Amino acid sequence: MTRKERASKIHKILESEFPEVPIPLDHKDSYTLLIAVLLSAQCTDERVNKITPLLFSKADNPYDMVKMTVEEIKSIIRPCGLSPMKSKGIFGLSKILIEKYDGQVPEDMSALEQLPAVGHKTASVVMSQAFGVPAFPVDTHIHRLAYRWKLSTGKNVKQTEKDLKAYFPKEFWNKVHLQIIFFGRKYCPARGHNPEICPVCKTYGRASLFK
């Protein structure tokens, strides 16, 4: 079975299990989504969703955000981890959005990637979930599952993204990456995983990993 054939069969399982998938991070617009995704680095979505209401009650747009100090931002987002880097990034990108983009989040991958603390994955999520532009954000969980499901070699996140884009139709990228995340949480966790009850692994997974 080719990887593309396997991807097609896995896609049918994902559609069956998760025909509708919500965006995991609470937000109201592209700016609040950008901040939430930035905060989610090495942090759970659940924790981010507890912290962002506190932050956004003070500043839910770049103009109000730059009125705060980096230390004030850091004190609020500390539970999300990496607060020194994230707070500087939030303040810095807010300042740039005001100076270069009239306070708006640019609908451009390259422009997003040039913002402080915004990497390719974060930019991909914003393009996908805020603007509906086809993208395939790959975090550590999707990277792990793509290898486990024999859809990629697992060499690096960049290669995994390239592989998944090749094997899933472009019109489904924005939905599939969310389906994989939700599926992984329910059936295919990193620890305590039972391949015999996982709808994908029991048929299409890398069985040798579990012997």
Question: Which sequence positions are flagged as catalytic?
Answer: 121, 139
Three-state SS for 119-134 is CHHHHHHHHHHCCCCC
Residue 72 CA to residue 167 CA, distance in Å, equals 45
**Residue 28 corresponds to which tokens in the numbers above?**
């109201």
Quote the CA–CA distance of 100 and 136 in Å, as a whole number: 27
Chain centre to alpha carbon of residue 65: 23
Query: What is the distance between the alpha carbons of residues 61 and 42, in angstroms, rounded to a whole number?
Result: 24
CA 68-69-71 angle, to 5 degrees, is: 130
Q: Is the dihedral of CA 42, 119, 131, 12 positive or negative?
A: negative
Q: Which amino acid is at 126?
A: V
Residue count of the chain: 211
